[in-house]
Amino acid sequence: MGEALPRTMMDRDQYLRWEAEQPEKHEYLAGEIFATVGVRREHALVALALGSLLRQRLKGSPCQAFVADMKLRVDAADAFFYPDVMVTCDPRDRSAETTIAHPCLVIEVLSDSTAAFDRGQKFAAYRRLESLREYLLVDIEARRLELYRREKAHWLLLEAQADGAPLRLESVGVALNPGDAFEDLDPPRHD
């Protein structure tokens, strides 16, 4: 997440009207607007790899995968975000033109500038989505996947390294080989 813009507070309707006219994307959280920043090559490659893999594996199912440009509305948190990847299987989202409201899986690729927000305030907002079953964080530097799965009244953390065993995404019925997320990246540098 970028820095909050030096603007007066907006309500969600003002944000949506304003955002529709902007050349760049902005996220919204309880009246504050945040400019999204461009991503590094590795970030874009990982998001595309995961989005492509999910799209391929979900073909013919009622689920659809989206990458980066579709907004996610979180009414309970008064928020709009642009997740790196998200999947919805909910028929109510089939008629959505610009905004999904019922995802079962959200994926965020971590970067130095967004990691704390993705793990903190953004995850707190996402947890308020009744439809959300899993939240996957992708740590490029560590070549690690951190999967948070909703288990009744709590969230269970499952981790997998790039060279580790497949991680089952129960929300969409897909086994994810962690290495697939990082396959187009250069080997990590060890200083």
pLDDT above 60 for 103: yes
Residue type, 73: R
DSSP line for 166-180:
-EEETTTTEEE-HHH
DSSP calls for 110-147: --TTTHHHHHTHHHHHHTT-TT--EEEEEETTTTEEEE
The answer to whether 172 touches 161, Cβ cutoff 8 Å, is no
pLDDT of residue 112: 87
Class of domain 39-182: alpha beta
**Residue 183 predicted with pLDDT over 50:** yes
- Classified as helix, coil or strand, 4 is strand
Beta partners for 26? 35
Q: Where are the domains of the chain?
A: 39-182
Q: How many Å apart are CA 74 and CA 132, to the nearest integer? A: 11
The pLDDT tens digits for 127-150 are: 999 999 999 999 999 999 999 999
Q: Are 74 and 125 a contacting pair, CB within 8 Å?
A: yes
Rounded CA-CA distance 80/108 in Å is 14
What is the value of pTM for the model shown? 0.92
Please write the tens of the pLDDT for every residue from 34-91: 888 778 999 999 999 999 999 999 999 999 999 989 999 999 999 999 999 999 999 9
Cβ partners under 8 Å of residue 51, min gap 6: 65, 66, 67, 84, 85
Task: Name the residue with tokens 């989005």.
Answer: 51
88: which 2 tokens?
A: 């919805």
In this prediction, residue 38 carries a pLDDT of 79
